[in-house]
Amino acid sequence: MSPIIPFDRSRGGARPAAPAGGGRLEKLFLFRLGARDLATEAVKIVEVMIAPKLATVAGAPAFVLGVANVRGNIIPVVDAHARLGEPRPDDGATQRMVVVKLAGDYVGFLVDGVDLRLTEGLIEAPPARKGSRGKGKLTVVEPTPAPRKAHIGEQTYPLFEPETLLTVDELETLKRVRATF
């Protein structure tokens, strides 16, 4: 896979102020999915490309749009729109495929547009989980914490965390889909 777009320090102006609760400064990649602008950590992105033609996979689950052959790598493509509750666009002219590596394998997510520059921003620290300890085990009261956010200048974006979109079973399904090609 080829590296992604170079980091542009001139974008975003001054360093953003730390959000309440702390956070860490990261290089962020911005993209559009449906009506929302999202940010993700640039280190999670392997490659961004024009959405390739997808081969359909007979018997694949609904969350798999198909597979793409990118320079000999078979990449299952996941429907991020459905995963995040966003409508799919009618016109795919600006669609891009964002490739990430999950559990050691490449996975593609189709997005509706990308900002071709990386920018610096702060990612909120994960929220503290409330729970109680009993017999050496932590019992979690809030199993699904609120999504984290990225702060770039005065703007706040929901943080796209691809590793949270698929279960272990779904990752195994993607391995089986890849193996059929």
Q: What percent of the chain has pLDDT over 70?
A: 74
Structural domain spans, the chain? 23-126+147-179
Q: Are 29 and 6 in contact (CB under 8 A)?
A: no
Side chain identity at residue 165, one-letter code: L
- pLDDT attached to residue 52: 93
23-126+147-179 classified as CATH 2.40.50.180: yes
Q: Which residues, other chains included, contact 174 with Cβ-Cβ below 8 Å and sequence gap of 6+?
A: 64, 76, 78, 105, 107, 166
Which residue would you say has higher pLDDT here, 93 or 14?
93
Residue 4 has pLDDT above 60, yes or no: no
* Angstrom distances, CA of residue 51 to CA of 81, 99, 141: 14, 11, 41
Q: What is the DSSP string of 75-108?
A: EEEE-HHHHTT-PPPS--TT-EEEEEEETTEEEE
- Give the ranges where 37-167 is alpha helix by DSSP (H): 80-83
| Per-residue tokens: 38 | 């999202």
- pLDDT tens digits, residue range 77-134? 999 898 888 888 776 668 899 999 998 999 999 999 888 677 788 888 776 555 544 4
Q: Are 6 and 107 in contact (CB under 8 A)?
A: no
- pLDDT tens digits, residue range 46-93? 999 999 999 999 988 989 999 999 999 999 999 989 888 888 877 666
